[in-house]
Amino acid sequence: MKIVVIDQRSERADLIKEALGEAGFPDVVIVAETDRLLERLAEIDPDAVLIDLEAPSRDMLEQMFEISRQVKRPVAMFVDDSGESSIAAAVEAGVGAYVVNGLAKSRIKPVMELAISRYNTFSRLQTELDAAKAALAERKLIDRAKGILMKMKGVEEEEAYKLLRKTAMNQNRRIAEIAESIVTAAELLQQ
């Protein structure tokens, strides 16, 4: 069974390919989005296509399957009769599937489940990474604000931090927000 994975994020596509290989589906081709997407798919002639739902080329893909419905082989989106809940799970995870009609349901089901779980894992990792990056950016901002306060008010680091924290508490805002206003104000005053 030949599977095409269309994904702009190559890390995620690699993750899926690896998982499919381990699950006994070695014949996986990764395709990035290009102008020649439809031609590439015609060349590869896959049994199933997994696609990132945020890919702009999804509508083009639908047309390809519409045309194949008329002339060549009928194609179904997702798995025929796969049930509302599993379709909902796929859409929520962000993965769509196009499957050639006639392909045994039992064969595509593990593929979909695997894709859904890998997409969820990837988006969780991504969220964690984004949170870590944001935390790091906030720490840098607070450090800069502390430096500005130390220089302007002639206080020690600990005192500067206390001042930030107290202001944040008084104004019912986050320390990072106060730090940001200090840094912005300092930049404006320097110009």
Amino acid at 31: V
Q: How far is the CB of 63 from other proteins (least distance, A)?
A: 4
Q: Which two tokens stand for residue 42?
A: 């015609």
39 binds other proteins (CB under 8 A): no
Calpha distance 150→182 (Å, rounded): 12
User: In this structure, how many other beta carbons lie within 10 angstroms of the beta carbon of residue 174?
Assistant: 11
Q: What b/e string do you get for 11-49 counting C-beta neighbours within 10 Å, with b at 16 or more? A: ebbebbbebbeeeebeebbbbebeeebeebbeeeebbbb
Nearer to other proteins, 46 or 96 (CB): 96
Q: Using CB under 8 A as the criterion, what x/- string covers residues 94-133 for binding other proteins?
A: --x-------------------------------------
87 binds other proteins (CB under 8 A): yes
Among 91, 129, 152, 169, contact with other proteins (rule: CB under 8 A): 91
**Positions that interact with other proteins (CB under 8 A):** 35, 53-63, 66, 70, 77-78, 84, 87-88, 91-92, 96
